[in-house]
Chains A and B, each alone.
Chain A
């Protein structure tokens, strides 16, 4: 099974962008949040801007740990309030590239109103929503993005509710750029994050991620690699801007594609309610 040893290294080329002394991080084996952090720091390096020009804000949950692992000004905020904190930075420091990395529960449930209103106002933010379809950190409870029929610790008979389809939600609310990729589509995800950093306005990127410890185990999806295989087999590149029904995800129906792609990229005036500050 095993072959010869590769070159053993002690540091990674991207360690300067991370708080590498905190690695390995707390996230489970097979979780995709680390991959999203990796794509974010790679996009940050490709942006050509100094680290002092970037800020990272996250809320609460597994994805909320992201801000603690990147070597830029970062906020680990209260639950659901990553967007108001980020809005404050974006309004006061218009030159700063503010990125929000948080989970579906934090952004769409507890912070759901902040999400739609930040999109409505077209605040100059890049929002990376790591969607793992449940509340992973607290034990796999059902959330607003849990697909219908999926089993969760608070929905042992399966979720009956109609879920949020986040790209459709923020597009309708007024976002400038909307993409959806999975953590398997690392190059597309990295490029979408980079475009979001370069673009003025509300840029929303949904990153579908495996959660083998809770969502995967409850739904017999197997380990992280098995859920990645689901993405590999079922993801299809969307043409244009699909609506709710096309973007809705049913992980049990293997005949339905999971649509990914860059759905929307338009120019709208970004939110700037006050004059530019130099502080």
Chain B
């Protein structure tokens, strides 16, 4: 995480924990609107090389960003098809302090 601007450093930054998430996708529901890929704040998602039964390229994890999901849930809520959601990883599964 980037260091905050001078004077804007939260007092509990040392103790704050960044949540970690796992991405789940239902490929057959996806219609490739691109909302989740375009608006993921951590750029975790990319379009798949193969396609689902209707010919749409569903979201997969972008190379190099496999562990970057922070479980913000934006992809889940913005998906018009309810085809993607995230679950929170437990602390011992790799949760980091920033």
Chain A residues in the interface with B (C-beta under 8 A): 1-15, 18, 20, 23-25, 27-35, 37-39, 42, 183-184, 186-187, 190, 223-225, 228
Contacts and interface: CB of A to CB of B under 8 A. Distances in A.
Contacts of A18: 82
B77 A5 contact: no
Given A1-B47, A6-B25, A7-B25, A15 B34 contact: no
Contacts of B60: 2-6
Interface residues of B, number: 38
Interface in B18-65: 22-29, 31-35, 38-39, 46-49, 54, 56, 59-65
A3 B61 contact: yes
9 contacts: A2-B46, A3-B65, A5-B48, A6-B23, A12-B83, A28-B31, A34-B82, A39-B77, A223-B34
A6 B24 contact: yes
B23 A7 contact: yes
B91 interface: no
B13 interface: no
A8 B27 contact: yes
Contacts of B47: 1-2
B94 interface: no
B79 A38 contact: yes
A225 B35 contact: yes
B39 to A, nearest CB: 7
A69 to B, nearest CB: 10
Contacts of A2: 46-49, 60, 62-63
B85 to A, nearest CB: 6
B35 A187 contact: no
B46 A27 contact: no
B66 A187 contact: no
A42 B85 CA distance: 13
A11 B26 contact: yes
A23 B25 contact: no
Contacts of A223: 33-34
